[in-house]
Amino acid sequence: MSLAREAAELDRLIHEPARLAVMALLFSAEEADFLYLLRETGLTKGNLSSHLARLEQAGYVGVQKGFVGKIARTVCRLTPEGRAAFAAYRGHLRSLAGAQ
């Protein structure tokens, strides 16, 4: 298979840089909250919210809203599908890099 064709098979939903950063951060954690993702990715609140919504829609990320005392907290975690999709994406990227 040609490199271009192989590259085209990358999961486009994950391949977008901001979503890739969110998925990679969540992959190394059991769960994380909105503030952590905001600090680590450097995205704006609106931008991060919209990317999280897209990932949630795709079934890759589970989002749970709640309160700790009086402070609102949004906790995100990768679903089993999200974890599998990210592992596949990472493997794909590695094989592409290895083919060079």
Q: Among 3, 6, 9, 45, indicate the residue that binds other proteins (CB under 8 A).
A: 45
Residue among 13, 29, 58, 88 that touches other proteins (CB under 8 A): 29
Q: Is 53 in the site for other proteins (CB under 8 A)?
A: no
Regarding 88 and contact with other proteins (CB under 8 A), the answer is: no
Q: Rounded to 5 degrees, what are φ and ψ at 18? A: -65, -45
The count of other CB atoms within 10 Å of the CB of residue 14 is 22
**What is the separation of C-alpha 73 from the centre of its chain, rounded to a whole number of angstroms?**
19
Enumerate residues 58-87 that contact other proteins by CB under 8 A: 68, 71-75
